[in-house]
Amino acid sequence: MALVLSILDQSTIASGRGADAAIRETLAMAQHADALGYARYWLAEHHNSRSHAGAAPEILIAAIAATTRRIRVGSAGVMLPHYSSLKVAEQFRVLEAIAPGRIDLGVGRAPGSDGRTAYALNPAAAQGLLGQGDRFPAQVQELLGWLGEGLPVNHPFRDVHAQPEVPTRPELWMLGSSDYGAQLAAYFGLPYCFAHFITDGAGAEQALSLYRQGFRAEAGRLPAPRAAIAVFALCAATEAEAARLFSSRALWRLSRDRGIYPPLPTPEEAAAHPYTEAEREKLARMQARAIIGTPQQVKARLEALAAELGAEEVAVLTPVHDPAARRESLSLLAGAFGLAAGAPGGAVAAGALRPTPALP
């Protein structure tokens, strides 16, 4: 089966431009991806961040779904402990009404923010008054129920129906960067995406192995495990240009590792930064691991990584300061994989991206 190629977008805020520009760039990039033939366009959720503007993926999904033609659009992910499962189910039922058969609901357990912000988003859960942090598996089960499977007969909200009632339902994904999400996805028989870009791959092999080993087809949602990875990748016409563009991300990562989340710097700002010797050594290691280069080089690295981890799909994260360079990266990668509009993600197996029907 050919590797399915998708996109993850954090609505990265670039140095010298505001968060509003980052949102508009996301909308434009999604339309570009739709025309290129990518399979999915996933939106991340972050709060209280100077680096990322995507605080409300459900709103971005609506805007993208209404202005694209064929690409699947979804969250990567909604941080479920912040919210009511019923409200999330209703938001995504509305999205499914906007773009039937094209909506993905990726959910995660991480806060997507600092502890104080998590408290502000949901004070009762943060205080433990509702036990929300420990309720994540129950929340996922409730979400499945309100998306169309129905709640258990003894559930106190059994007679509460999520609206609007629509003939199809979103495709639910579990997202994570640890064993916990992998095991939960396996238990519920859901597709799973490992956030490789967060850990630089650390823990990916074990998490995906646990997912495959523990997968319960008897849950009745998928006949077999379906694994994806979300990775940082960047293409340019030459290796030198790819390295120059990557320098922005590399400097940003140095800041992130110190607990600082600034806007994405320009390559010029990265070149002028007064690096210490230790930082230069870290940058060299970072660049050696990074999936960057010419289109064929990046394609080969992505295919090898997916094969090594047993992933059927790769969602590419490409924060680049210059929107035109980012568009070019997506175009070059689409060309390397032979994508074409109307053929989601390239040569996808029949039925792999079908609309999910609502259950009685």
pLDDT tens by residue, 140-181: 999 999 999 999 999 999 999 999 999 999 999 999 999 999
Q: What is the mean pLDDT of the chain?
A: 91
What is the structure's pLDDT at 347? 39
Phi-psi domain of 259 (left: phi exceeds 0; alpha: psi -120 through 50; beta: other):
left
Q: Specify the pLDDT at position 19.
A: 97
- According to DSSP, the β-strands at 227-235 and 192-195 are parallel
pLDDT reported for residue 58: 97
| 137-to-93, 154, 328 alpha-carbon distances in Å | 21, 17, 40
Which pLDDT value is given to residue 114? 74
CATH of domain 4-229+311-355: 3.20.20.30
* pLDDT tens sequence across 234-254: 999 999 999 999 999 999 999
pTM recorded for the entire structure: 0.92
| pLDDT digit string, tens, across residues 292-305 | 999 999 999 999 99
Structure confidence at residue 230 (pLDDT)? 98
C-beta separation of 82 from 56 below 8 A: no
Summarised one tens digit per residue, pLDDT across range 197-227 is: 999 999 999 999 999 999 999 999 999 999 9
Report whether 130 contacts 123 (CB < 8 A): no
The position carrying tokens 């998306």 is: 147
Q: How far is residue 327 from each of residues 29, 235, 243, measured CA to CA in Å?
A: 7, 10, 16
- Give me the pLDDT at residue 360, please: 36
Residue-wise pLDDT for 8-51, tens only, equals 999 999 999 999 999 999 999 999 999 999 999 999 999 999 99
Mean pLDDT over 172-201 rounds to 96
In the chain, % of residues over pLDDT 70: 90
pLDDT at 339: 96
Q: What is the pLDDT of residue 342?
A: 54
With a cut of 60, say whether residue 352 has pLDDT above it: no
Q: Does residue 126 have a pLDDT over 60? A: no
Measure Cα distances from 208 to 17, 27, 317 in Å.
Answer: 38, 31, 19
In this structure, of 218-227, 314-323, 351-360, the range with the lowest mean pLDDT score is 351-360
Q: Are strands 356-357 and 168-169 parallel, antiparallel or unpaired?
A: antiparallel
Nearest CA to 8 out of 317, 345, 326, 227 is that of: 317
Q: Is the pLDDT of residue 69 over 90?
A: yes
> Tens digits of per-residue pLDDT, 267-281?
999 999 999 999 999
